[in-house]
């Protein structure tokens, strides 16, 4: 994949850590030197007790400081009654066919 010039990535992560800019660079971007177009739409759902420090939206945005040619949108939602954190990051403009939804987390 070192010759890849364009990549579109969309996934939803349920696990122990949030997928942020540092993770994307470490596992994807740094291994693709010819990549010049990278679009993504990533959701991460994590339990509070799996995180040492709860990240803020500013922190998440800061992890994308070295991304070029992209405007990165991020949002962090805390659902304290269920002890869940949902983080959504995507490159703008992004042409997703189906938008992500967090309605399954509603408590009413």
In three-state secondary structure terms, 90 is strand
| pLDDT score at 106 | 41
In three-state secondary structure terms, 99 is coil
| pLDDT score at 17 | 86
State which H helix or E strand residue 22 sits in: helix 21-27
| pLDDT score at 108 | 39
φ, ψ (nearest 5 deg) of residue 52 = -75, -45
| pLDDT score at 49 | 76
Q: Specify the pTM.
A: 0.80
- Going from the first residue of the chain to its last (108 residues), give the mean pLDDT of each consecutive group of 10, the final group possibly shorter: 84 90 91 89 86 85 85 90 91 68 43
| pLDDT score at 105 | 43
φ, ψ (nearest 5 deg) of residue 49 = -70, -10
Residue owning tokens 């540092």: 22
């Amino acid at each position: 994949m070192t010759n890849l010039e364009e990549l579109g990535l969309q996934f939803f992560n349920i696990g122990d850590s949030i997928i942020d800019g540092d993770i994307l660079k470490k596992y994807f971007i740094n291994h693709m030197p010819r990549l010049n177009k990278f679009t993504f739409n990533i959701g991460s759902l994590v339990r509070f007790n799996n995180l040492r420090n709860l990240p803020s939206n500013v922190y998440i945005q800061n992890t994308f400081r070295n991304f070029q040619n992209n405007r990165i949108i991020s949002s962090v939602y805390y659902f304290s009654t269920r002890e869940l954190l949902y983080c959504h990051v995507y490159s703008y403009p992004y042409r997703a066919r189906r938008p992500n939804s967090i309605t399954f987390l509603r408590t009413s």
